[in-house]
Structure 1
Amino acid sequence: MPHRRPRLLAALLLAPLLSACFASGGGEAQGGSADTAAGSRLRVALAFPPAENLSPYGADATILSRLGVTEGLTALDANGAAAPALAQSWRRQDEHTWLFTLREATFQDGTDVTAAAVAASLTHATRAKPAPAALSGVTVGVKAEGARTLRVSTGSSDPVLPLRLSSPSLAVLSAKAYAAKNGRVNPVGTGTGPFTLAEVEGSTSARLDRFDDYWGGRAQSAGIDARFIADGTARANALRTGQVDIAEAVPVAQAATLEAATRRETATTRTTSLLLNSAAGPFKDPKLRAAARAAVDPAALAHGVYENHADAGAGIYGPAVTWAAGKRTPPVGRAAAGAPHGASVTLATYDNRPELPEAAQVLKQQLEKAGFKVELVVREYSRLETDALAGRFDGVVLARNTLVDTGDPVAVLASDYTCKGGYNLARLCDRAVDEAVADAEGVGENGRRQDAAMAAEARILGTDAVVPLVHQRVITGVGTSVKGVLLDPYERVLVGTGTRR
């Protein structure tokens, strides 16, 4: 699941105050009634089966946050700013040190959330291999100071650390999660969210029960029965026939088959891009990358494949990142396009998001018209990711939420496009890009950081290792009896304490 995934989801989904930011149905999200005293169970269809055994450090972290299992020290509010979660407040002590004050909370196994427990959990995250995307290029140390105070230090100045700590991959788990001798981190019954993961049936389903001692208040639903349904048509059918109450990522082609009252369309920070392998194969040549970029017509994809439920790709950040368009500058250092001369390339994508195979088929035709020979590979995402990260394809069509990892616009650049990036599917390693991203990482003031991010974007686009295709809107299917679904532009949350039927 590219959240990392097309993947960056904390207490927004959990705290009643923050739930109101994204709840559908207005005040109904927090309203109760006599028949919800015990609460009915929610039936939810998710698009992405676990790809990493529900590891909290990678793509699966988003599954855990969307289902209300995990949360971090901070969350993102509706404006993308850091908001309290397990930490009720924080302050910057000096250039390298932040102090976080924890709220009183309990882990789902009954143990207390203490500074020592949080420090141990975050230290495990800093040692994970590969490193969570939110920690790309960052050295972090965590130490308890008393029962409720946490000292977080960074190797270099990190002005957006509270944003970074909102990442789903930096969720806090109890000591029990790390007890396995094989090193596997187990989120079953060890999170802090309103729903505890009780049982997982491989990549098929999961059962979650309400966690009655949740610090943010008792959830109105008794639990969640989650089904992992990779096929988008099947997800839409499950909603239409009443088998599920909520279906995420309804395909554009299926939207018209749902009643208008059951469709929710949300502008998101997700961009679908063509990532070209710049380290090996034909696209190691920047002239052939330029030829591929010139062959692509994003407007045709937005209109034809996405039926105008998306905007033509303008850059790494789309219209949902409201400040980006006004700060965008032309790409820097682009090579002139060369002639493909029948170069053979392998283009890969996944079918969890049903528009992607169709988009890849259109790209195949566009590239072949420009003189490439194209082989198309389509798999379920969990069967594609390892090969994609290893550079076994010449191009990958990926839907990527640009703010999911931290909410910081610079973080996705560091993880996806730098030499040491943990999710660098383009295998880009360019000195000028690394320097531009490093410059952006060092800027604290919000407006200046945005300017620096756009300067780095111009450098990245200039390599033609990434070709933005469309900026997506997400359609969520919601049963007419369901209240309080959280429609989040960052795609970190889906259900919370007020979600019920």
Structure 2
Amino acid sequence: MPENPRPPRRPLRRLRLLSLLVTGAAATLITGCFSGSGTSAQGDGGGRLRLAMMQPPRSGLSPLSDDAFKLSRWSTAETLVKLDRDGDARPALATGWKQNGRTWTFTLRQGVTFHDGTALTAHSAVTSLTTAAGASPKPRILDGVDLTARATGSHTLTVTTAGPDPLLPHRLSSPQLSILAAKAYRGKTVSPVGAGTGPFEIVAVNGVASARLDRYDRYWGGKAKASGIDVRFVPDGTARAAALRSGEADIVEAVPVSQAGLMDRKLITEVPMPRTNTLYLNTRSGPFKDAGLRAAAREAVDAEQIVTGVYEGRADVARGLLGPALPWATALRGAPERAAATAPRGARITIGTFTDRAELPEVAQVLQQQLQAAGFQVTLDIREYAHIEADALAGKFDAFILSRATVLDSGDPAAYLFSDFAAGGSFNISQLADPAVDRALNTAAQTPAGDARRRGIMNAEAAVLSTDAAVPLLHERVIQGDAANVSGAAHDPRERELITLDTFAR
């Protein structure tokens, strides 16, 4: 494998010129997608919203798959619990809950109806949760969780787990555990069409091309300002950006970095993501078994250069493993105690990464230059992720560059930290086995949700950083496009909300 399998990036000016040349062609890919849709004012709100989304459905919009996040972003399916900005559990379809050992009791909201007119009851909630718990494969949020739900009244149910689970309400906030009407469940398939409880009802789905939602006027939370949503799935990023510029779309997901610079700044919002690009260093074998050489590598890294040169300034330099998408992390972050750096003296290292994320090979090239300037001899090994993951997990690289989600479906980063840095973690690329880190991780995992758990999580982060097993580089952002006449669109780092009750186009 050659060290530089991807040619250097074109100068930004040439890249933008190329984008301008293809914009007209890209626009034709979406022209007419929203025919018949309008955004003229209607009554007390707005007309229909035209939404261009990046990824088409992969599983027929089943809530048991990643398609569930589309359902929550469209405000059509809802969960018992939702998360606030800090990641704390708040009432949704459930108005309250209490824990008694392994069992949690939830009280349901009164007066909620599904889109087919049937009432939300404890029995319908139990059906949804039981279906998810017995699915194969299970929703990610239930990996390793043995869950049993039982109705104890018309609007009360209990959820019991095999062991005490302080994060159960957070788990129930996952869109993959949406509560749907009985009509949604037919054999092994789950269809959300006309079966949710949100302010918008799915009335038609056209495969992987489009979907149509109408306002549900009996929604328990009030009347939505928009009369409906017309969704078009547009995987091509240039075409999505062109749709916003041409007025063909009101809201656009994931505007590419290469297109953002061509757009009116008033039309785009950069949303910090709970995703960190990190250089993992192999602590078990090779040169980075030496803590002094790990410290030397950390000191050689200039993350600002990567953010400016590779991401064109559309990312945040990392100060730790957890970034600005978790607003409480900065205030609780302490200074880790690290080893002193020792001179590399020509130490030979191999850095691995993958091509599936377009920026990572270029990040690898920049790091190669920075580490060579510090005295390392650096070889790059860059492949498709499917062909490199096994070697990375087996510790076959001295270092590995990874873009990693730091907040999984529970909205809590403890699971990510344990997976990546515990001695028994399933994604321990650094091969780290440090008793102090394990103690900190276990303490955080066992602490109930709230301020004490957040302090425990940041103590665990400091313990990891003190080993230099990981060098955080940057925190990614997603770029969302909203037309000038759009108000109230959500800008959610967790990508659970997009169109809400208050979203409309004038």
Under TM normalisation by the shorter chain, which class is it? 0.7 to 0.9
AA of the residue aligned to 2:267:
T
1-side partners of 2:284 and 2:187: how far apart?
38
The aligned counterpart of 2:19 is: none
The aligned counterpart of 2:102 is: 96
Greater relative contact order, per chain length (Cα 8 Å cut-off, separation 6+): 1
SS at match of 1:455: helix
AA of the residue aligned to 1:105:
V
Summarize the Cα distance change of 1:462–1:127 in structure 2 as closer, same or farther, 3 Å threshold: farther
- Deviations along 1:20-59, one digit per CA (max 9) or x if unpaired, are xxxxxxxxxxxx9962469532222223444555443454
AA of the residue aligned to 2:131:
H
Name which of 182, 186, 195 aligns with 1:190. Answer: 195
Name which of 165, 190, 202 aligns with 2:172. Answer: 165
1-side partners of 2:430 and 2:140: how far apart?
15
AA of the residue aligned to 1:190:
A
2-side partners of 1:195 and 1:479: how far apart?
21
Summarize the Cα distance change of 1:161–1:255 in structure 2 as closer, same or farther, 3 Å threshold: same
Note if 1:47 corresponds to 2:54: yes
The aligned counterpart of 1:122 is: 129
Indicate the larger mover: 144-153 or 462-471. Answer: 462-471
Map 1:328-347 → 2, pairs under 5 A: 328-329=333-334, 346-347=352-353
Summarize the Cα distance change of 1:362–1:111 in structure 2 as closer, same or farther, 3 Å threshold: farther
Name which of 479, 493, 498 aligns with 1:494. Answer: 498
Q: Is the Cα–Cα contact under 8 Å of residues 97 and 151 in structure 1 kept in the other structure?
A: yes
May I ask how many residue pairs the two structures share in their alignment?
456
SS at match of 2:77: coil
Note if 1:452 corresponds to 2:428: no
TM-score (norm 1): 0.75
Q: Is the Cα–Cα contact under 8 Å of residues 136 and 414 in structure 1 kept in the other structure?
A: no
SS at match of 1:157: coil
AA of the residue aligned to 1:348:
F
Map 1:378-389 → 2, pairs under 5 A: none
The aligned counterpart of 2:246 is: 241
Q: Is the Cα–Cα contact under 8 Å of residues 75 and 84 in structure 1 kept in the other structure?
A: yes
Q: CA offset at residue 115 of structure 1?
A: 0.8
Name which of 72, 80, 90 aligns with 2:87. Answer: 80
Name which of 254, 259, 267 aligns with 2:259. Answer: 254
Q: CA offset at residue 500 of structure 1?
A: 1.6
Summarize the Cα distance change of 1:187–1:377 in structure 2 as closer, same or farther, 3 Å threshold: farther
Summarize the Cα distance change of 1:341–1:360 in structure 2 as closer, same or farther, 3 Å threshold: closer
Indicate the larger mover: 473-482 or 120-129. Answer: 120-129
Q: Is the Cα–Cα contact under 8 Å of residues 67 and 195 in structure 1 kept in the other structure?
A: yes
AA of the residue aligned to 1:248:
E
Q: Is the Cα–Cα contact under 8 Å of residues 440 and 456 in structure 1 kept in the other structure?
A: yes
The aligned counterpart of 2:63 is: 56
Indicate the larger mover: 147-156 or 432-441. Answer: 432-441
Q: Is the Cα–Cα contact under 8 Å of residues 276 and 322 in structure 2 kept in the other structure?
A: no
Indicate the larger mover: 111-120 or 230-239. Answer: 230-239
The aligned counterpart of 2:474 is: 470
The aligned counterpart of 2:230 is: 225
Specify the structure having the higher radius of gyration (Cα). Answer: 2
- Deviations along 1:204-254, one digit per CA (max 9) or x if unpaired, are 443333334332233333332323334434322221111211112333443
SS at match of 2:377: coil
% of aligned pairs identical?
Answer: 44
Summarize the Cα distance change of 1:396–1:228 in structure 2 as closer, same or farther, 3 Å threshold: farther
Q: CA offset at residue 151 of structure 1?
A: 1.1
- Deviations along 1:416-474, one digit per CA (max 9) or x if unpaired, are 5557878x484968574555433212212623211211232234446666542212444
- Deviations along 1:140-198, one digit per CA (max 9) or x if unpaired, are 332111110011223333334323322223222334444234xx543344332223344
Q: Is the Cα–Cα contact under 8 Å of residues 199 and 215 in structure 2 kept in the other structure?
A: yes
Summarize the Cα distance change of 1:230–1:473 in structure 2 as closer, same or farther, 3 Å threshold: same
Summarize the Cα distance change of 1:243–1:326 in structure 2 as closer, same or farther, 3 Å threshold: same
Unaligned runs of 5+ in 2: 1-38
The aligned counterpart of 1:25 is: none
Q: Is the Cα–Cα contact under 8 Å of residues 275 and 426 in structure 1 kept in the other structure?
A: no
TM-score (norm 2): 0.75
2-side partners of 1:428 and 1:203: how far apart?
40
Map 1:64-463 → 2, pairs under 5 A: 64-92=71-99, 94-103=100-109, 104-181=111-188, 184-266=189-271, 268-274=272-278, 276=280, 296-329=301-334, 346-351=352-357, 358-359=362-363, 362-363=366-367, 366=370, 370-377=376-383, 395=400, 397-398=402-403, 400=405, 402-403=406-407, 405-414=409-418, 424=427, 426=429, 430=433, 432=435, 435-444=439-448, 446-461=450-465
2-side partners of 1:426 and 1:87: how far apart?
39
1-side partners of 2:56 and 2:282: how far apart?
29
1-side partners of 2:69 and 2:363: how far apart?
24
2-side partners of 1:324 and 1:65: how far apart?
26
1-side partners of 2:200 and 2:346: how far apart?
53
2-side partners of 1:414 and 1:75: how far apart?
24
Indicate the larger mover: 311-320 or 368-377. Answer: 368-377
2-side partners of 1:293 and 1:133: how far apart?
33
SS at match of 1:350: coil
